[in-house]
Structure 1
Amino acid sequence: MVMEHDAKQQCIVCNEEKAEGIVVVDQFICLDCEQEMVHTDVKDAKYPFFIDQLKRLWMKLHA
């Protein structure tokens, strides 16, 4: 579910402050990054970047 927040939050993918996005494991992903991630093919050069950024979610769960 995409949410609009009263205050901007820092995206864990692009590190920009944005108001619209999703929160996963208490981490904010902006709408732009979320849309780009779901439409990125696994063969795309940017795919490994997204995987590395999303490792933060896994690390937060197991901290």
Structure 2
Amino acid sequence: MSRKDHCSICEKETEKGIYLLRVFICEDCEEEMIDTPADDPKYDYFVKRMAKAHRSMIPS
């Protein structure tokens, strides 16, 4: 049985993806992040989602 995780970017549940500093990113978001140029407005969205995900990993 495969483990499913929730993507920190799109919040979909999937079996396929990567962990980046303990943050799970699905294959679709990973590919889109890699292909998004820094001057695209979507880039800022990815940066903010990653920052939010990393902040949630820091214990209070």
Regarding TM over 0.5, the answer is yes
1:34 match: 30
Is there any run of 5+ residues in structure 1 with no aligned partner, and where? none
Higher strand share: 1
- Aligned partners of 2:22, 2:2: CA distance in 1, in Å? 16
Runs of 4+ in 1 over 3 A off after TM superposition: none
Higher helix share: 2
Q: 1:23 maps to which residue?
A: 19
Counterpart for residue 44 of structure 2:
48
Give the corresponding residue for 1:11: 7
The DSSP-based 3-state class of the residue aligned with 1:7 is: coil
CA distance in 1, matches of 2:2, 2:17: 12
Aligned residues: CA RMSD: 1.6
- Structure 2 stretches of 5 or more lacking a match? none
Q: Secondary structure at the match of 2:39?
A: coil
Residue 24 of structure 1: how far off its partner (Å): 1.6
1:14 counterpart SS class:
coil
TM-score by length of 1: 0.78
Q: Percent identity?
A: 33
